[in-house]
Amino acid sequence: MNDRRSEPRFMCADLVRVIIQAADGAREEAGNLEDISSSGACVQLEAAVLEGADVELTCANCRLKGKVRFCRFSELGYDVGIAFSKKGSWSRQRFLPKHLLDVPTGQRGAA
C-alpha cells in the first residue's frame, strides 16, 4: 500500500484517551497509540469509528485534534488512522510516547 504521508512515522506504544465526535454526541475511549508522525497517528480502539469523524487524542498533557481517515478491523480491535488538523501537530518535544522506536517505519498505510 502506498503511503500518503510526506514524512516518516514512528512505531510507538502508549495509552491515550480519544474523544470521538458523532451526530449523537461525543464519546471517550481509551486506546493504544500504535504509530505517530507530525501529521497523523494510528490508534487501536475496541470499537469502530466512522471515517471522517472529528477526534481529539489526549496524550499526557498534549491534545491533538484531527479526522478519522480509516478504520480497519484487526485481531485485537480496530486500527484507526487519524490525520491531524494542523501539519506539524506532533513533535517529540510536545509529546514523547513511553515506548517510541526511534527509527522511522517503512512506507505503509496512511492516515
User: pTM higher than 0.85 for the full model?
Assistant: no
Q: Where is pLDDT greater, at 13 or 97?
A: 13
**Confidence band of 49 (pLDDT split at 50, 70, 90):** very high
Query: What would the pLDDT profile of 57-110 be if each residue is shown by its tens digit?
Result: 998 778 999 999 999 999 989 999 999 998 878 877 777 777 777 665 554 444
Q: Is residue 44's pLDDT more than 50?
A: yes
Over the chain, what HEC string results? CCCCCCCCCEEEEEEEEEEEEECCEEEEEEEEEEEECCCEEEEEECCCCCCCCEEEEEECCEEEEEEEEEEEEECCEEEEEEEECCCCCCCCCCCCCCEEEEEECCCCCCC
Q: Which structural domains are found in the chain, ordered by start?
A: 10-86 (2.40.10.220)
Query: What's the mean pLDDT in 12-41?
Result: 92
